[in-house]
Structure 1
Amino acid sequence: SLVGFLITGAIAGPHGLRWLNNLHEVEVLAEIGVIFLLFTVGLELSLGHLLRMKRFVIGAGALQAAGTMLVTFVLMALLSLPYHEAVLIACLVTLSSTAVVLKLLQERGELERPYGRATLGILIFQDFLIIPLMLLLPFLAGESEGGLSSIGLTLLKAAGFVTGVMVAARYVVPKLLFIIVKAKSQELFLVSVAGLCFAVAILAQEVGLSLALGALFAGIIISESEYSNEAFSRIQPFRDVFASLFFVSVGMLIDLSFVVEYPLEIFASFLILIALKIVLAASANVAVGLPLRSALLSGIALAQLGEFSFLLSKEARVLELISEFNYQIFLSCSVLTIASTPFFLRGAPALVDWFLGRSIFQGTIFRALRHELEEEAVSARDIEDHLIIVGFGLNGRNVAKAAENASIPYVISELNPDTVRTERKLGRRIFFGDSAQEDVLKRIGIQRARVLVAAVSEPIATRRIVALARKLNPSIYIIARTRLVAETVPLYKEGANEVVPEEYETSV
């Protein structure tokens, strides 16, 4: 559907059949879509959730931004671009699309996956980065007034905004919503939730943040109350309608005549851009401790250019910081990267598994990057006839509880380092590693195990885990959890003895 909306915008827009000539009016409606989209994402988070992602927001986010800016600037300088234009393009390339990525991850139910959390953390950092980047443009054009004092004031306002959000989430909004709910009026509840969303978004814009980031925090405020599920169900229809207009507005930016005239330049720029963003984002995630597989998945998810890049480039064009040719190349690449994102995300798990299966990635260095259970002191070599639990979310925890009640020895493999650290302190035999890799399964005693429960949510990873487990231990009994009924047949073919599809179980 996303690609269809982009094509619709390109055909019906000012550079196509000209059915939609007023881009500004469409952009206003599209902005509402982005606000509702980020608001619903915030409803699924919480302040505690956000704090647990701090290593991705602060660590990986800062490393990705700094690395991308530096490498892009060097490349632009080697192409003999003027200093101000090289700096500008480096800033534009750094940003990814919060609206596109979060919509797709939300639809796929992967925001809670390790790579989903890492991706969200980096996107949040990028949204905060909008403040200094917008203030940087007048400096590059030589038109800045106020100097460092204006930047400091804006950052101080942003800090005050975040503090206000935390106070409102804990002490104000839950009580206010309780009073509104007591009125037993669905219309009043909907208007109040939507009003809060727009009020916080506009307040964020006033202090120098983006409307989208403000909407995200508005959702987080309500997520701290018991009314978040009802708010989500009321806002979702509006989100779907208005968000579609955002993608139409992006498609309207495409100048089809320019694409026809310079296809090779656009395609070459597209390939270089994608490779650059994947490598640098993945490297930032690895640097903060994310396994290589999840880091690569996050890099692929962040490989497009963002909606705020459009805003920056438009302002830069007015200030004559970028040439018309480079501006059109940038717009064409932006739309192409956004259109490619759904396909990249769909094929990413299989591609990454194939990539990591190459012989070059079996060496000692890459084993360390994959976090394949290096801790010898807590190895699983002293256990046999045991249960292996892959994934320690809700399903994995319930399996572990049942195993404890039945005095069944078990070992856990988990990709979330925070979970591993916490559970290790509680005395659980839990390891940090990607069980879709053969060496990881061997280190947790797959050859000596009696049962394996695959309790992860990613279908392709589950298939690979089942296939590897069956290959390494033909007699092991494998139970696999999956979301969709359509995944049961492929899992049985890979060697699962029993498959539990959530879609079917919740329907009976």
Structure 2
Amino acid sequence: MAHLPVLIKDLALILGAAAITTLLFKRLKQPLVLGYIIAGLLVGPNFNFFPTIGDLDNIKIWAEIGVVVLLFNLGLEFSFKKLMRVGGSASIAGIFEITGMFLLGYTTGSILGWSTMNCIFLGGIISISSTTIIIRAFEEQGLKSTSFASMVMGMLVIEDIVAVLLMVLLSTVAVSQQFSGLDLMIEVVKLVFFLSLWFLFGILVIPSFFRWVNRWLNNETLLIISLGMCLGMVILATYVGFSAALGAFIMGSVLAETTQAEDIEHQMQPVKNLFGAVFFVSVGMLIDPKLLWEYRIPVLIITLAVIFGKTINITIGSFISGQPLKQSLQAGMSMSQIGEFSFIIATLGVSLGVTSDFLYPIAVGVSVITTFSTPFMIKAAVPLYKWIDQTLPPRWRNRLNRYSSGAQQIPADADWKMVFRTYFNIIVLNSVIILAAIFLAVKFVDPWLVDMLEQTITAHILTVLLTLLVASPFIWALTIKKPQRGAYTSLWLNEQVNHGPLVMVEVLRNLLAVFYLFLLLSQLFSGLIALIGAILVLAVVLFIFSKRLQSFYARIERRFMTNLNHREMVANTGATSTLSPWDAHLAYFTISPEAACLGKDLETLAWRERYGINIASIERGKKTIMAPQRTEKIYPYDKLAVIGTDQQLQLFRPIVEPESLPQLEEEEEIRLMKIRVDEHNLLKGKTIRNSGIREKTNGLVVGIERAGNRILNPDSQTVFEWDDIIWIVGEREKIMELIQAEPGS
């Protein structure tokens, strides 16, 4: 009989056990991840009633590949651009929650008498919620169109990126066994630098590469190229001192900005399913039931800490960020579990040999319990809110409502915010590229030139010239490129007090350019020569080659922005709704071919009168109709952007989608935003029809807040009064133009 390798026997056993348990969990309508974990427990070395795997080390290698594949797919779903789209509310709430949970985990571990390293890893483990479990629960309960679900999705994006950061920091702490704040800060700076560099380089090069080879791409070559890029970035990330998982995540997020992203994700799905199953089965293999029973009290304590800690932290964080109490509580109770990233962090502690044997099974036990509790927590959120709302004194309730309404107010004057945000982008992004060019020149180019030419001074001069050739456009941008000319001019001319801060920023960025040039020259020449050379080089860059550098930088910038937005331009899609303290929010529907509304115009359908909803836009093929007229007819597969309350949208959905169709991803252009009637916009005394809002924003006025009262779907003859808060659904950029318009314009 021919010899069969142990690895094949083990894989047969793993996949067979996984197949049986997943079929069972599918029938029970439970998450497949739990089925994989139980399958791993059954075939693992700690459970003797079934056949056991023969070589655990080989399975661990496959599990490491599984982590790489999972993080690569997570990057494909994530994308840096999605992070930029996350609203301020989700960012504030997510960071508040992660910080609070990390401290709670560390404190809980300390109370239990655990070592410092166990406490640190426990904090990381309980900080991250499960995207898979939450999405599954929302789908089963029909909550994906609700207003709080968008908030939760934004927070999950923040958690994903923080989880990657945590993995890097925990690896650093584990290896160095030091907890110096300076060391951790250096690691954070290195990570941010690495992420920024590869984001800029990847967006500039990779989409252009795919457009160039598009004619030769098919499913097979696309899969091979994508996996090759993923593993190449894994090697590079490991070489510069980061984890393999981080490299996979970065490449996935860069590829997510290409027009091939959906195809890559589709081709990767079977690979992800295979290696994901192996990874989660390996998670179950490491569970020791005896150890888990021995630590049942810590499991119970940590489970309660996760459920109550996440509920409280997310609720408070969401409310602080401007969300109403109801949505904040729903978000908190939806995210009260731990999942996939928690397993990866726990696996990291095991692989580095810095955590105790009991921490891993405890983490899995807590995950299993909180996963089962998640659907019940989501269902209990609304009854709990109603009880709290009835219990709170009226004065407290009014204060809470006023805070959530005021916290999201869009200021009429956003000049400072626009100018400094642009300054920040100019300084940080160009600094990253300049520093990367200096590092590569000093570390690799100069030694190579010295060996080749055998003349040190000549090699140094050539190194400087080559570096300047690459970095000059970015030095020009760092020192001269103007931020938001209109806003900058407005600030400079309006008030004398604005001159000081603006001049200081200009001086700062020019000093940074001198410092970077000095940093380059000081590595190759003496300090005095480096200082004089830095000033002379900057003068040459700014005055002699300024126009050429400006032109070249503009071409680079156009290429970058084209690549960054190419996917959206091809798809001709836009928008994510901005959540508000109103119950009304944006949701998206695709008209089913079986819908009874086909061929009828909006006036005949009278959806606004029947259901209280508004149609913000209709996307038909490559054409988008903003704020459609009453005479506009409805056709199959029209994509509607609809505004309404949760209840209204739930009643409206069966009208247009009698059969369940895949829900559209939220888009970018159409927003639900609000402005206050004040002296800047001069809307006081005008009716909705005469205000020009519809024409200026391609949008609709869907609500007015006045003296504590709310008017939903106001009549077109309603007259605006001082301090009215006007809710508009329309194109974000045009609404912002209206907000920032000069008086009388």
Common topology (TM > 0.5): yes
State the partner residue of 1:47.
80
Q: Tell me: CA distance 1:315–1:231, structure 2 relative to 1, closer, same or farther (3 Å).
A: closer
- The answer to whether the Cα contact below 8 Å between 1:69 and 1:91 also exists between their aligned partners in 2 is yes
Residue pairs, 1:383-422, within 5 angstroms: 390-395=584-589, 397-398=616-617, 404-406=628-630, 412-413=643-644, 419-421=671-673
Secondary structure at the aligned position of 1:14 is classed as coil
Per-residue Cα deviation, 1:127-160 (whole angstroms, up to 9, x for no partner): 2122233323356x56x8xx66754553343233
- Asked whether the equivalents of residues 204 and 213 of structure 1 are also in contact (C-alpha less than 8 Å), the reply is yes
Cα offsets for 1:251-290 (capped at 9, x unmatched):
1121112234454553344233332233223333333334
Preserved contact between residue 326 and residue 382 of structure 2 (Cα < 8 Å): yes
Q: Does 1:95 align with 2:151?
A: no
Contact kept? 1:15, 1:256, Cα under 8 Å:
yes
- For residues 168 and 62 of structure 1, the distance between their equivalents in structure 2, rounded to whole angstroms, comes to 27
- SS of aligned partner of 2:98: helix
Q: Does 1:350 align with 2:382?
A: no
Deviation at 1:173, TM superposition (A): 0.8
The question of whether the paired residues in 2 share the 8 Å contact of 1:270 and 1:333 is answered with no
Matched, 1:333 2:333: no
Letter of the aligned partner of 2:349 in structure 1? S
Tell me the SS of whatever aligns to 1:420: strand
What's the CA shift for 1:293? Answer: 4.4
Counterpart position of 1:5: 36
1:391 and 1:212 map into 2 onto residues whose CA distance is 37
Distance 2:247 2:400 in 1: 36
Instruction: Name which of structure 1's ranges 104-113 and 41-50 shifts more when overlaid on structure 2.
Output: 104-113
Correspondence 1:164-179 to 2 at 5 A:
164-179=197-212
Give the AA of the match of 1:339.
V
1:154 aligns with 2:187: yes
Q: Name the amino acid aligned to 1:429.
A: V
CA deviation after TM superposition for structure 1 residue 13, in Å: 0.8
Task: Give matches, 1:46-195, under 5 Å.
Answer: 46-53=79-86, 55=88, 59-79=92-112, 81=113, 84=116, 87-88=119-120, 91-96=123-128, 104=136, 113-137=150-174, 141=177, 151=184, 153-195=186-228
Q: SS state of the match for residue 46, structure 2?
A: coil
Aligned partners of 2:270, 2:55: CA distance in 1, in Å? 25
CA gap 1:21/1:104 in 2 versus in 1, 3 angstroms:
farther
The change in CA–CA distance for 1:405 and 1:209 in structure 2 (over 3 A counts) is farther
1:301 aligned residue (317, 335, 338): 335
Distance in structure 1 (CA, Å) of the matches to 2:300 and 2:108? 17
* 1:100-140 deviation digits (Å, cap 9, x = unpaired): 5588589879597321121221231232122233323356x
Query: Structure 1 unaligned runs (5+)?
Result: 379-387, 434-441, 450-508
Counterpart residue type for residue 127 of structure 1 = V
User: 1:209, CA displacement in angstroms?
Assistant: 4.4
- In the other structure, the counterpart of 1:501 is none
Alignment partner of 1:429 is 2:701: yes
* Paired positions, count: 417
Decide whether aligned partners of structure 1 residues 86 and 226 sit closer, same or farther in structure 2, where only a CA change above 3 A counts: closer
Q: CA deviation at 1:192?
A: 0.2
* Change beyond 3 A, Cα 1:188–1:59: same
Q: Secondary structure in 2 aligned to 1:194?
A: helix
1:15 aligns with 2:46: yes
Once the two structures are TM-superposed, the CA of residue 90 in structure 1 deviates from its matched residue by 5.3
Distance 1:155 1:358 in 2: 43
Q: Given the alignment, which residue of 274, 281, 302 partners 1:241?
A: 274
* Contact kept in structure 2, 1:12 and 1:19, CA below 8 Å: yes
Report the 3-state secondary structure (helix = DSSP H, G, I; strand = E; otherwise coil) of the residue aligned with 2:258: coil
Q: 1:175 is matched by which residue type in structure 2?
A: S
The 3-state SS of whatever aligns with 2:673 is helix
In 1, distance between residues paired with 2:247 and 2:710? 45
8 Å contact from structure 1 (residues 3, 339) kept in 2: yes
- Cα-Cα RMSD: 4.4
Partner amino acid for 1:7?
A: I
Match of 1:26 among 33, 41, 59: 59
1:91–1:133: 8 Å Cα contact kept in structure 2? no
The TM-score, its normalising length taken from structure 1, stands at: 0.67
Supply the AA of the counterpart residue of 1:130. M
Query: Based on CA coordinates, which of the two structures has the bigger radius of gyration?
Result: 2
Structure-2 separation of matches of 1:432 and 1:233:
44
Q: Is the 8 A contact 1:119 1:302 kept in 2?
A: no
Q: Tell me the CA shift for residue 68 of structure 1.
A: 2.3
Structure 2 partner of 1:214: 247
User: How far is 1:6 from its partner?
Assistant: 1.0
Change (3 A) 1:341 1:233: farther
| d(CA) in 1 for partners of 2:138, 2:236 | 26
Contact 1:56 1:121 in 2 (8 A): no
Mapped pair 1:310 → 2:346: yes
Residue deviations 1:206-245 (CA, integer Å, cap 9, x gap): 4454444433332222222221121122111111111112
The 1:162/1:261 distance shift into structure 2, 3 A limit, reads closer
Question: Which of 228, 236, 242 is matched with 2:261 structurally?
Answer: 228
Question: Within the alignment, does 1:285 sit opposite 2:322 as a pair?
Answer: no
* Structure 2 unaligned regions, length at least 5: 1-31, 410-581, 590-614, 620-624, 633-640, 647-665, 677-692, 716-745
Partner of 1:505: none
Report the identity percentage: 20
